[in-house]
């Protein structure tokens, strides 16, 4: 087909071939340029939309955290103070000897209220953040969300007692998630984006306790007769350690707890439960957070130098 080109003078043949190539390139450029441009534009637009989505979701989560963080930290601090008080004072154990007479006195009532109030502020946050994509959050904001989840899981996760004889079908030393949700439901604001102030939570708890005391029966069962030799006490210690590390990570400086005091709580945990708590914390995917790393070091190295207390019934 191209024999005639071979018969031309070399210089002329080169010119003809060059012209043909130029023509083909010109035609292809005209035909393909729009396609290539469209492909590049599409990729750029897709990237732009992805970045815009990420920024919008990050902004939404940041604002949401700002609306709820103060309430969550306040209820966490109040509960942490109560747990510290109960662990430290020998007489406090007698104040929870309810013997089935619920809600008991002011100490047991306010104890239950602080527990439920803290759970409620976390659940309010979670409910109203349902349509915010936290997977694209900044590292700090995502850590905050994970910490909140851990603050609920530490009360419900039966794996805390792995290796021990414990009936997982009875909530004797843990709460079923359904129980926890039932207790917080009356305190959760209809407008979750606004949330409920701690003072409102206290009033709402007292009102609901008077109107429907059975809703909170499980929390009083947990508190009734709570003593160091029970598994419930071990659960309480684990919950306090999670509260401490949460406040250390996100709270004010006056809410922080020293590593020495953290160690003092950790050594009260039975060794196998200490290891199980480390596993639960590890599953929260927070090991890059420095306060969590510090807690894990303490949990894995804590030793009080004496035979652990024998833990009996729940």
The pLDDT, as a whole number, for residue 154 is 97
Over residues 178-197, the pLDDT tens digits come to 999 999 998 886 445 556 77
Quick one: residue 307, left, alpha or beta (phi over 0 = left, psi -120 to 50 = alpha)?
A: beta
What does the domain layout of the chain look like in residue ranges? Answer: 44-301
Q: Spell out, as residue ranges, where the chain has pLDDT lower than 70.
A: 1-49, 189-195, 302-314
Instruction: Write the CB contacts of 108 (distance below 8 Å, at least 6 apart in sequence).
Output: 95, 96, 98, 102, 220, 223, 224
How many of the other CB atoms lie within 10 Å of CB of 149? Answer: 14
Report how far residue 238's alpha carbon sits from residue 274's, in angstroms, rounded to the nearest whole number: 8
pLDDT in tens, 102-128: 998 999 999 999 999 999 999 999 998
Give DSSP secondary structure letters for 232-294: HHHHHHHHHHHHHHHHHHHS-GGG---HHHHHHHHTTS-HHHHHHHHHHHHHTT-TTSHHHHH
Cβ neighbors of 31 (< 8 A, separation 6 or more) are none
Q: What angle do helix axes 139-156 and 106-128 make, rounded to 10 degrees?
A: 140
For residues 93 and 230, is the Cβ–Cβ distance under 8 A?
no
């Amino acid at each position: 087909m191209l024999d005639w080109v071979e018969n031309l003078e070399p210089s002329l043949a080169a010119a003809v071939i060059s012209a043909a190539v130029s023509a083909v390139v010109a035609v292809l450029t005209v035909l393909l340029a729009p396609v290539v441009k469209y492909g590049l534009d599409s990729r750029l637009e897709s990237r732009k939309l992805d970045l815009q989505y990420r920024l919008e979701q990050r902004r939404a989560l940041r604002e949401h955290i700002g609306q709820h963080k103060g309430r969550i930290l306040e209820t966490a601090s109040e509960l942490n103070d109560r747990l510290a008080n109960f662990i430290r004072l020998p007489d406090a154990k007698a104040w929870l000897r309810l013997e089935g007479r619920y809600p008991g006195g002011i100490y047991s009532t306010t104890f239950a209220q602080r527990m439920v109030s803290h759970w409620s502020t976390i659940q309010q946050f979670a409910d109203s953040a349902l349509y915010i994509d936290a997977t694209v959050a900044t590292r700090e904001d995502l850590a905050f969300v994970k910490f909140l989840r851990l603050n609920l899981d530490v009360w419900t996760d039966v794996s805390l007692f792995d290796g021990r004889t414990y009936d997982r079908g009875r909530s004797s030393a843990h709460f079923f998630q359904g129980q926890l949700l039932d207790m917080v439901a009356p305190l959760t604001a209809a407008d979750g984006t606004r949330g409920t102030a701690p003072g409102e939570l206290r009033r709402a708890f007292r009102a609901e306790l008077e109107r429907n005391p059975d809703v909170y029966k499980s929390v009083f069962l947990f508190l009734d007769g709570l003593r160091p030799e029970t598994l419930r006490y071990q659960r309480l210690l684990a919950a306090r350690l999670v509260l401490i590390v949460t406040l250390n990570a996100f709270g004010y400086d006056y809410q922080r707890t020293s590593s020495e005091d953290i160690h003092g709580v950790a050594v009260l945990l039975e060794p196998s439960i200490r290891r199980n708590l480390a596993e639960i914390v590890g599953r929260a995917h927070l090991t890059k957070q420095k306060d969590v790393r510090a807690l894990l070091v303490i949990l894995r190295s804590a030793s009080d130098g004496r035979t652990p207390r024998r833990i009996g019934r729940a």
